[in-house]
Amino acid sequence: MSELNLVLLGPPGSGKGTQGERLNDDLRLPYYATGDILRGAVRDETELGKSAKAFMDAGDLVPDEVIVGVIAERIDSEEARDGFILDGFPRTTPQAEALDAKLAELGREVTTVLLIDVSDDEVVRRLGGRRTCEAEGHVYHVEFNPPKQEGVCDIDGSPLIVRDDDKPEVIRKRLATYHEKTEPLVSYYDGKGILRRVDGARDPAEVTEELRGILDAARS
């Protein structure tokens, strides 16, 4: 296989960002977090970036075709010649179909989809335990990375707060959206024979090793 065009799937809090960055280091493939791509296009004032900004300024969702166009600009570049890692897109089956169509125009296709599978209870445990420094945004976790003094940042002594995104009721809503909108992609990509499922509840280093094994096999 000459290139690895990867999509990372999984619920919020599954560790996609951590694993994406590790794969980026391992494979030397560009790691595209979709939100970052969109913000970059807006900042650089590309034509598609200007179009996206108009929707965002109006408080509207950016249409799928605009997002796919922005992503295609990055994929159709020298840095992504040997492949890419997509995180955060597609989020729905229509977006996956639009991405497939755009990649086909470029003579390419998604080669492997990595599903990092984590239960809802584990997601709530991970995200609900986060505490954030009110002043500088330093992040702690009540279980995995607690501060020396409860409720106080080790670095600057500021109070630690629970962000709205990390409140259990908000996390449950995000999970409900994931199950409704994004989880159907599991069947979509499984039907294409390119989905690989990994247990994301384990230690991140174990998850990384399994992902490496999957991709070594895909490249052989």
Q: For this structure, is 130 an active site residue?
A: yes
In the residue annotation, 172 being an active-site residue is answered as no
Catalytic (active site) residue 81: no
Active-site hit among 39, 53, 102, 163: 163
Q: Which of 53, 91, 181, 219 is flagged as catalytic?
A: 91
Contact 208, 19 (CB under 8 A): yes
- Kindly name the residue from 125, 130, 131, 196 that is annotated as catalytic: 130
For the question of residue 16 being annotated catalytic, the response is: yes
With contact defined as beta carbons under 8 Å apart, do 139 and 130 qualify? yes
219 is catalytic: no
With helix as H, strand as E and coil as C, how does the chain read? Answer: CCCEEEEEECCCCCCHHHHHHHHHHHHCCCEEEHHHHHHHHHHHCCHHHHHHHHHHHCCCCCCHHHHHHHHHHHHCCHHHCCEEEEECCCCCHHHHHHHHHHHHHCCCCCCEEEEEECCHHHHHHHHHCEEEECCCCCEEECCCECCCECCECCCCCCEEECCHHHCHHHHHHHHHHHHHHHCHHHHHHHHCCCEEEEECCCCHHHHHHHHHHHHHHHHC
User: Choosing from 16, 22, 125, 196, which is the catalytic residue?
Assistant: 16
- Of the candidates 174, 181, 212, 219, the residue annotated as catalytic is 174
Cite the active site residues.
16, 91, 130, 163, 174
